[in-house]
Amino acid sequence: MKLKEKVIEVLKQCFDPEIPVDLWNLGLIYDIKFDEFSPQKTDVKITMSLTTPGCSMGNQMANDIKEKVSAMDEVNDVNVNVTFDPPWKPEMMSDEARNKLGFDPTPVPKSEPKIEMEWE
């Protein structure tokens, strides 16, 4: 298993304390980057968002990520950056999260036939 896949598995163990869904499936993790520190250890940079800018649990969630990812044998250091660009939207959730929270599945865009219109 690649390191990114391992990190994602750890992120699936980090939860928003106010929502019973993990941060990965909520769509709050925007990016994961790796900087090799040595052949055995890697620095990990995670960019995440919160469901709302006023969320008071942001530091707790970032610290939970840092603690759990830092415990991995392959990881040297973890930096968690919180951003609101782009703002989080419920559409960013996985279908698993949507199902757990009672949302409809993510609609699959369908190809609509183009309507020819003539203007007078």
Query: pLDDT tens digit string along 53-97?
Result: 888 899 999 999 999 999 999 999 999 999 999 999 999 999 999
Spell out where the chain has E strands.
29-36, 42-48, 75-82
* CA dist., res. 37 & res. 35, Å (int): 6
Q: Name residue 114's beta-bridge partners.
A: none
Cis status of the peptide bond prior to 86, with omega within 30 of 0: yes
Indicate the range of 24-33, 41-50, 101-110 predicted with least confidence: 101-110
What mean pLDDT, rounded, does the chain reach?
88
Q: Helices 3-11 and 58-70 meet at what angle, rounded to 10?
A: 140
Per-residue pLDDT at 1: 77
3-state secondary structure of 38: coil
DSSP designation for 84 = -
* CA dist., res. 40 & res. 62, Å (int): 24
Helices (H), the chain: 3-11, 23-26, 58-70, 95-100
**CATH architecture, range 3-88:** 2-Layer Sandwich (3.30)
The answer to pTM > 0.85 is no
